[in-house]
Structure 1
Amino acid sequence: MSEIHDNPSVCKDELFAKKENSVLLISTLGLGLLFNLLFYGKPLGVSYPLYIMALYLVLFWNMRNKRPLKVDQKLLMGIPIILLSFSYFLYSNQVFIVLNFMAIPILVVAHTLLLTSNNRYEWFKSQFLGEVIYGMVVRPLENFLKPFYVILAFAKRRPNSGKYRAASKILIGLLAAAGLLMVIIPLLASADDIFRQLLERVPNVFRVININEIVPRLIVVTLVTCLVFSYLWSLLSCKVGLNKGSSDTLSGEVLKTDSLQKSRAFLDPITVTSMLVLIDLLYTIFIAIQFSYLFGSLKFGLPPNFTYSQYARKGFFELVVITLINLIILLGNMNFLKSSGTKLDQVVKLLNTILVASTFIILLSAHFRMSLYEDVYGYTYLRVLTHAFMVYLFVLLAVTLCKIWRQRTQLLKSYLVISIVAYTLINYVNIDNIIVKNNIERYNQGNPIDITYLTTLSYDVVPKLVDLAHSTSDRVLADQLEKGLIYKKQVLAKERPWQSFNISMYRASKALSQQ
């Protein structure tokens, strides 16, 4: 023991020679090899969720003794990550393939920081973003050379255990045998022609192995192993955590937050009240006009000299911008308004509530205008996403309304949860199918259909387009569909490795084979 204390290098070797470090190294090497197997030279598919699950399995296995796994809120935060990774297996929407490629690593880093208690700030605090960036950029690199230290430490370790001595003896025996075989094999080949012919076939096996391909694969495996090892080492070797003191401490934190909010407040309640009265009055007049248009257009037809397209196009984006401006006004009022300690505070809350209600109606108007536009010109990716964005804003406003009357509501936390849930849901509603389904319905009602646009969508829509080609009596339309699907048919005809298997492409291929 004294030797370890006296000699720092011995102490360092003992540190790296710990069993858990060897387990971490072996498991991350497995992830490196799995990365090569699943991703090298292959399009993404079922490989993505498989690798994400393998990554979490390695993390949970290596933290089993240090931080026992609990089914709690932190663990459940991984559900969106798993669902988003499975989108590579289920769907083929190129937009979400790109977006998820950026979003999933960010979510994985954030989630693993929480699981291993390496976050100094709560996940709904703005400072947590800095920890996520640090986790993505610094943690994978700061311990990049640690795997080699672990290997060297084990190589230097003294053969204390019987298992180690046995392994050493086996290795020595294999090396000795290799030296003897280099002499014996040529003698046997010279003594027996059949044995020699068999040996001559062995080089044919090695011809299949491409050295030019092996070298980059080894580099990829090494890089992934070192990066993942470095990241997991940084998570498992130390624990930052939050100060989870007594209830008094937590109350102190709440008071500290309240005092911080008061200290940064600079808006005068009288000024804000005057502003809100005018804004709410303006919106009340605007909404009265909107109701006459909305319900009047439905019941009595559009106003004179208006077409559906003109009405729909006129002011839609302006209304969405107004919604965002109103949301900023509300957030400013709630975060930077000085408290008067009088009934004026309640008046401000009431005026903010009227502002929220007005914004709801404005969103409804924007939604109605876009619906009219779709009825005339059909459904596109941007138009459907616009509807989804308006629903998202509606939910944010609903939470903001709760914040107006319930001060303890944590807006950033609520906004983050809503955003992650909304993004996950939009991945699974299959927008491409919605576009094709509604456009086909419009076509069946006698409206034109843009086949060229529909055939540019993902493979999710192919079965519906094939069904349309079979059911339509319009041979021109059927020919357009046939020409539009040629490229997809050519791509699907190519062989793909099992790692790139995708249900959307499988269904499309099956539908096209029956065409």
Structure 2
Amino acid sequence: MLAGFCLVSLAISGAGRGWYGLLRGLVSLVLALPPLPWFAGGPLRALARRRPSKPGQLVAGIALTLGLLGIFGALFASADAVFSSYLRILLTPPGWLDTVPAKGFMFLIFGALAAAGLLVGLRPVAEPVAPDVRLRVGRSVWALPLVALNLLFAAFVLVQITVLFGGGRRVAVTAGLTYAAYAREGFFQLLIVSVFVLAVVAVAAGLVSVRGRERWALAVLLGVLCLLTMVILASAMHRLGLYTDAYGYTRLRASVAATIIWLAAVFVLVIVAGAVRLTRRGHGGRLPRALVALTGAGLVAFAVWNPDLQVAATQLEVRKTISRLDIDYLNELGPEAIPALDRLPEPMRTCVLQDIARAAGLSEPATWQSWNLARQRAREAIAARPLLPQAGCASLPYRSGDAE
């Protein structure tokens, strides 16, 4: 949701050709919130100038109206029982009144964001020009660290290749770990390594001023570093795949897998942009837009992939013995998982689906605000096979935390 908000903010702002414009566009809606009261108060100030009024007189008029209605309404209610019953019905607060504060708060938030979007959209687009902060430094300042990093990364990649071909026997002999424990460890650290490499590439390409052959040397060192990092990402994906093959997907594992794929695609963009910049002597101005397009496409692809459905499907696939299913974890999934969980045998199916249906409000009629395709399919699945009235869920075996 946060990524979608940033992409919408960037699309409304229209500024994203350079890195500075991209960063400013991502937070343009937030930056437009402080001047919003002044912007929205303009029509009110104009109306006040046209029709000046005294606030004290308005308050007095409201108080007099309420007093007269209260006195005469009470007299009429005591004089006629039918009128009294209608008045009692009229003054009884409706049931939906309890939800008004929360809905009003959400309305104010979305209204403020919509007004901020209008303010940003009406503002003329001025592409900011980032200052040139590149420094002319000696070759040893940047070449020595990059060569050392490449050697370290190459050594790590070589170890990963030997483990890949040696399998569990080599891991057990050299590290004293089982293959499952080895696969479980390390892929988070490898993700952090890839993010740090992106920072190193950004600093080297953005702050170091090079000319002539030094441009080619810097580009080759950074390109080799990116290629080695992509191999490391492949190793992280392999480790994660070994673990998910044994224990199935969870939301965290699905998100990590998607992040690995996105980072690999980012490195491809960086390599291509670096090659274009080197051959055409440009500044890689299209890389920010390409990164935004890649991120948006990745979010859409991740939503279409339907992570909750994949989590449920893989959990059922790897847990061949039904008693090993973690019912507590499955209950936390969204209605997107119901088409896969519908294959569970009774009474486990009812015990899992009833908690999901209760949390998603599937028993209530769908409104235009709450409707989506996943909830519609979940309602259809439950309607086709109604839940058991008495499932006896307390007696079912499960292993809490097994999915994690």
- Compute the TM-score of the two structures, normalised by the length of structure 1: 0.56
Alignment match, 1:414: 290
1:309 positional shift: 1.6
Which whole-Å deviations, capped at 9, do the CAs of 1:165-195 have from their partners, x for residues lacking one?
xxxxxxxxxxxxxxxxxxxxxxxxxxxxxxx
Aligned amino acid, residue 189 of structure 2: E
Alignment match, 1:364: 234
The reply on whether 1:480 has 2:345 as its aligned counterpart is: no
CA contact (8 A) 2:6 2:26 kept: no
In the TM superposition, 1:281-320 aligns within 5 A as 281-297=151-167, 303-304=172-173, 305-320=176-191
CA contact (8 A) 2:332 2:356 kept: no
1:395 positional shift: 1.1
CA distance in 2, matches of 1:316, 1:302: 16
CA contact (8 A) 2:308 2:337 kept: yes
CA distance in 2, matches of 1:209, 1:446: 50
CA distance in 2, matches of 1:444, 1:212: 46
SS in 1 for 2:272: helix
Aligned amino acid, residue 360 of structure 1: M
Quickly say closer, same or farther: Cα 1:449–1:501, change in 2 above 3 A. same
In the TM superposition, 1:74-153 aligns within 5 A as 100=1, 102=2, 106-114=6-14, 124-129=21-26, 131-135=28-32, 137-149=33-45
Match of 2:219 among 329, 349, 370: 349
Unaligned runs of 5+ in 2: 53-81, 278-282, 387-404
Quickly say closer, same or farther: Cα 1:270–1:404, change in 2 above 3 A. farther
Which whole-Å deviations, capped at 9, do the CAs of 1:243-269 have from their partners, x for residues lacking one?
8xxxxxxxxx9xx86xx43x4325533
Quickly say closer, same or farther: Cα 1:404–1:123, change in 2 above 3 A. closer
The reply on whether 1:338 has 2:213 as its aligned counterpart is: no
The reply on whether 1:242 has 2:126 as its aligned counterpart is: yes
1:387 positional shift: 0.6
1:442 positional shift: 1.9
Quickly say closer, same or farther: Cα 1:275–1:505, change in 2 above 3 A. same
Quickly say closer, same or farther: Cα 1:390–1:220, change in 2 above 3 A. closer
Aligned amino acid, residue 132 of structure 1: L
Q: Alignment RMSD, CA only?
A: 4.3
CA distance in 1, matches of 2:110, 2:151: 63
CA distance in 2, matches of 1:283, 1:423: 30
In the TM superposition, 1:85-484 aligns within 5 A as 100=1, 102=2, 106-114=6-14, 124-129=21-26, 131-135=28-32, 137-149=33-45, 213=97, 231=116, 234=119, 239-242=123-126, 260-261=131-132, 263-265=133-135, 267-297=137-167, 303-304=172-173, 305-339=176-210, 341-407=211-277, 408-410=283-285, 411-444=287-320, 448-469=324-345, 478-484=346-352
Unaligned runs of 5+ in 1: 1-99, 157-197, 244-252, 470-477
1:222 positional shift: 10
The number of residues matched between the two structures is 347
1:444 positional shift: 4.7
Give me the identity figure in percent.
Answer: 19
Aligned amino acid, residue 133 of structure 1: V
CA distance in 2, matches of 1:409, 1:328: 16
CA contact (8 A) 1:316 1:369 kept: yes
Quickly say closer, same or farther: Cα 1:267–1:369, change in 2 above 3 A. farther
Quickly say closer, same or farther: Cα 1:481–1:138, change in 2 above 3 A. same
SS in 2 for 1:321: helix
CA distance in 1, matches of 2:110, 2:316: 50
CA distance in 1, matches of 2:113, 2:315: 46
CA distance in 2, matches of 1:297, 1:139: 61
Quickly say closer, same or farther: Cα 1:383–1:122, change in 2 above 3 A. closer
CA distance in 2, matches of 1:409, 1:450: 49
Quickly say closer, same or farther: Cα 1:153–1:209, change in 2 above 3 A. farther
